[in-house]
Structure 1
């Protein structure tokens, strides 16, 4: 497990989901800039109620910083190009208008 901090902009809207055990969680995507000017997508899942509430209050393209457990991955786009991605289990969130959750 890699513990990390990611800053970027929400890509789309956060979504409420329910697991097989009946527990609610929230998923979203964050678009983060890399050093070379490209972007990387971070697939975020949040189980903590306060983190979920903060993510659900955000809209598309709102700025957000998240800390949590990171897992690097790759995916293939519709043109067959392999691209990097990151999965994150978010434990804390910082948004500009609310302060730390």
Structure 2
């Protein structure tokens, strides 16, 4: 796990879900650009109430910065190429309209 700050654009919209124990959380995807101009998708999950509400208030394509626990991963596409992926448990958020944290 890495303590990270990522910045990018919301890819799709955030979705609220409920866990087995009845706890609420929000999931979304953020597309961050790399140095070579390619994008990398970061899978985000947020349990914090303030961060959840902020994510739910954003539209597809909204600029966002998130900090939290980052786990790098690798997946294989249909052509057999290894691709990077990121999973982030978001603790804080900064958008153009607001900033919020735990």
Please confirm whether the aligned pair reaches a TM-score higher than 0.5, indicating the same fold: yes
1:73 aligns with 2:73: yes
Tell me, what secondary structure is at the counterpart of 2:54?
A: helix
Post-superposition offset of 1:96: 0.2
Which structure 2 residues correspond to residues 18-29 of structure 1 after superposition, within 5 A? 18-29=18-29
**Could you say which residue in structure 1 is the equivalent of 2:10?**
10
Name the residue aligned to 1:84. Answer: 84
Partner deviation per Cα, 1:6-50 (whole Å, 9 max, x = no partner): 000000000001111110000000000011111110000000000
Separation in 1, partners of 2:49, 2:78: 35
Deviations 1:43-74 (A, max 9, x none): 00000000000000001000000000000001
Which stretches of structure 1, 4 residues or longer, exceed 6 Å deviation after superposition? none
**Normalising to structure 2: TM-score of the pair?**
0.94
- Name the TM-score, length of structure 1 as normaliser: 0.95
Say what the alpha-carbon RMSD is for the aligned residues.
Answer: 0.8
Do structure 1's residue 49 and structure 2's residue 45 form an aligned pair? no
SS at match of 1:61: coil
5+ long unaligned stretches in structure 2: none
What stretches of structure 1 of length at least 5 have no aligned partner? Answer: none
Deviations 1:51-100 (A, max 9, x none): 000000001000000000000001222333221010000000000012x1
Name whichever of 71-80 and 81-90 sits farther off.
Answer: 71-80
